[in-house]
Amino acid sequence: MLKSSSKKSAARSTEKEIQAAAKPVRKRDHKKQSLILLSFTILVIILVNLIGAKVFTRFDLTAEKRYTLSPSTRALLDDVNDYIFFRVYLDGEFPAEFKRLRNETREMLNQFRAYNKFITYEFIDPNSLPEKSDRDQLFKSLIAKGINPFEVEINESGSQTKQYVFPGAVVSYNGDETGMPIMLNQIGQSPDIILNNSIQNLEYNLASTIKKLIDGKKPTVAFLGGYGQLEDAQIYSAVQSLSDRYAMQRVKIDGKVSALTERITDSTGNTSIFNKFKAIVIARPDSAFTEKDKFIIDQFIMRGGKVLWLVDGAFAEMDSLRASNQTIAIPNEVNLDDMLFTYGARINKDLLLDVRCLPITMVTGMLGNQPQFNLVPWLYFPLIAPSVSEHPITRNINALKTQFISTIDTIAVKGVKKTILLTGSQYSHVVAVPQIIDLNMAKEKPDPGLFTKSYLPTAVLLEGTFRSLYTNRVPPEISLDKSIGFKDNSKKTSMIIVSDGDVIRNQFSRKSGKPLPLGFDQDVNQTFGNKEFLLNAMDYLLDDSRLIDLRSREIKIRPLDRQKIEADGLKWQIINVALPVILVIIAGVTIHFLRKRKYGKR
């Protein structure tokens, strides 16, 4: 028994000695492993930073990818190979909405610069110049570049002072400069909506300015005249809107073959014929085109020219209606039906009446000797909206206001693709012309039984290869004349047909008489989507789909509820400040308690 007990004692002592000897080894191995892990972690961090310095990426978790530049913008930035400098005049002390616009602008410029090192910027306070004469000179130069000021009130040391804010930038590239307004000018919209739309428009605004500078020469667009088209004052806002991207001209054909095309004859006698303009606009003609002028337009299209047709199917005027309470709408015979039919569309000789319409101001009664003016729905002024199909031209735009618009039918033409862009609502009615229009019908409730038509087309896009109206119709001396260069089939091209010329007609202020922005209606004090449609249509026709994608991109701004801020602002401030601290303290105490409970007994 003694021997057995001594053997067990010796075995236990030997085991303890082995464990004691093994402890330093395990401690050394653990220490070595920790050093290896630390070294590996540091190496990975250094490697990630080196890769990050060479390769730019970001993770955008917002639903609308707000902090991700679109592919079209990135492709545009790839074309920039020299410095573009933005002098942004949005610095200093001003109200919160301008600070928010400043911050969003800086963030967007940082995104541009992350993709291309040639994008540089500086934020400037235009009110910081000490000398008044210098400030006045700077203000005049900014206004001359199209950056209009906003007068705001600033609270300084308890007193209210007024100063000017210039939400815009002067952009320089390769010796050229251009002004870029950042705050949109949208009459009739609330400040929050204007700010939201301005922020949403930032990427397009910056990208279009860059494109304008790097492209250099603007494409030329011509408004045709000579057939009673809208006058210059009536399309003033439309021309101004387009002139930022295109060189605008007014042209009369007058039977001149060279009105829309240019002919160059080389030393061998060969004549090359080129279109002078990228696109032409035919805006609300009211008299018949001659066959010679139609031939010239047709051959412009055959050579790849683009056309925006804004042609009324019926002729009616509000001026004559207001003068006598009645007028007669008649067919608008402008001798273009056969051309449009050949290309794939027909503007009908009718008028669209729609429950979704613009109201007009009219006398609805008398109070004593004073007439009472009220807004009443006018069924002859439909609000046409994008069709059910998604298209870059009409995506995310508001309804367009119209006056006496007609319907459009599409015609099956081989090689031509047709896309309906705009339609009436689901409650429409169509009347053929001639038709008596009585202003008193605005006071009557429309009969629901009449408004059974739905989504009637009012604007259509035609794309493809068009056949000439004059194929097999012109004599050999014309078709074979090299100086004329007759073509019976077009290059691949496109055109847009809208059955109302008034969609690009601006109103005039009743107070000043000056033209109002396109799409703004002073009766309802609201801006409609006419301007956006015009810009999108022209960009699409001229193959600038990248800009359309940017303009139609929607970024949802989620403003705070100001009423709730005023009522519960302090409560939420306390919750936001105190709650995270309390949660951290609770988590720390809990972890400490658990660790003490787990390791305290050892």
| Residue 50: partners with Cβ closer than 8 Å, 6 or more residues away | none
Q: According to the model, what pLDDT value does residue 129 have?
A: 84
Q: Please, are residues 313 and 407 in contact by the beta-carbon 8 Å criterion? A: yes
Give yes or no for residue 173 having a pLDDT over 80. Answer: yes
Beta carbons within 8 Å of 224's beta carbon, 6+ residues apart: 251, 252, 253, 280, 281, 282, 283
Q: Return the DSSP state at 429.
A: E
| Stretch among 19-28, 40-49, 327-336, 392-401 having the lowest mean pLDDT | 19-28
- Residue 232 and residue 223: Cα distance in Å, rounded? 10
pLDDT band at 198 (very low <50, low <70, confident <90, very high): confident
CB atoms under 10 Å from CB of 22, counted, come to 10
What are the strands, taking DSSP E only, across 387-488? 400-401, 408-410, 416-423, 428-432, 435-438, 457-467
pLDDT at 10 over 60: no
Give the CA distances from residue 403 to residues 72, 319, 458, 517, in Å, rounded to whole numbers and listed in that order. Answer: 36, 12, 12, 17
Q: What is the mean pLDDT of residues 501-507?
A: 95
pLDDT value of position 51: 74
What pTM did the predictor assign? 0.74
How much is the average pLDDT of 13-35?
61
Q: CA 216, CA 247: separation in Å to the nearest integer?
A: 11
**CA 593 to the chain's CA centroid:** 58
In this predicted structure, the answer to whether residue 6 has a pLDDT above a threshold of 80 is no
pLDDT for 268 equals 76
pLDDT over 60 at 488, yes or no: yes
pLDDT band at residue 332 under the 50/70/90 scheme = very high
pLDDT at 188 over 60: no
CA distance 132 to 154: 18
Asked if residues 362 and 369 have their Cβ atoms less than 8 Å apart, the reply is no
Question: How many Å from the N-terminal Cα to the C-terminal Cα in the chain?
Answer: 36
The torsion region of residue 26 among left (phi > 0), alpha (psi -120 to 50) and beta comes to alpha
Q: How confident is the model at residue 479 (pLDDT cuts 50, 70, 90)?
A: confident
What per-residue string of b and e applies to 444-460 under the rule 16 or more CB within 10 Å gives b?
Answer: eebeeeebebeebbbbb
pLDDT of 597 reads 77
CA proximity to 348, closest of 268, 502, 205, 456: 456
Provide CB contacts within 8 A for 244, sequence distance 6+.
208, 212
What is the reported pLDDT for 2?
Answer: 47
Distance CA 210, CA 77 (A): 8
Instruction: Output the pLDDT for position 64.
Output: 56
Give the confidence band of 29 by pLDDT, cuts at 50, 70, 90.
low
Residue type present at position 61:
L
How far is it, in rounded angstroms, from Cα 189 to Cα 526? 7
pLDDT in tens, 200-210: 888 888 988 89
Check residue 57 and report its DSSP letter: -
Is residue 464 scored above 50 in pLDDT? yes
- pLDDT tens for 65-99 read 666 788 888 888 888 889 999 999 988 887 778 88
Cis peptide preceding 382, ω within 30 of 0? no
Helix/strand/coil percentages in the chain, nearest 5: 35, 25, 35
Check if the beta carbon of residue 183 is closer than 8 Å to that of residue 202.
no
- pLDDT tens digits, 244-300: 889 999 999 999 989 999 988 877 778 889 999 999 999 999 999 999 999 999 999
User: Which range, 163-167, 259-263, 338-342, 532-536, has the best average confidence (pLDDT)?
Assistant: 338-342
Pick 457 or 445 by higher pLDDT.
457
* % of the chain exceeding 70 in pLDDT: 84
How many of the other CB atoms lie within 10 Å of CB of 16? 10
Q: How far apart are CA 240 and CA 226, in angstroms?
A: 21
The reported pLDDT for the residue numbered 13 is 58
pLDDT-based confidence at residue 156 (cuts at 50, 70, 90): low
Q: Token digits for 283?
A: 């805006």
Query: What tokens were used for 374?
Result: 């009220």
φ, ψ at 56 (rounded to 5°): -90, 135
Closest by Cα among 231, 225, 219 to 251: 225
Max CA pair span of the chain: 137
Average per-residue pLDDT for the chain: 85
Q: CA angle at residue 223 from 492 to 353, to 5 degrees? A: 85
Residue 506 per-residue DSSP state: P
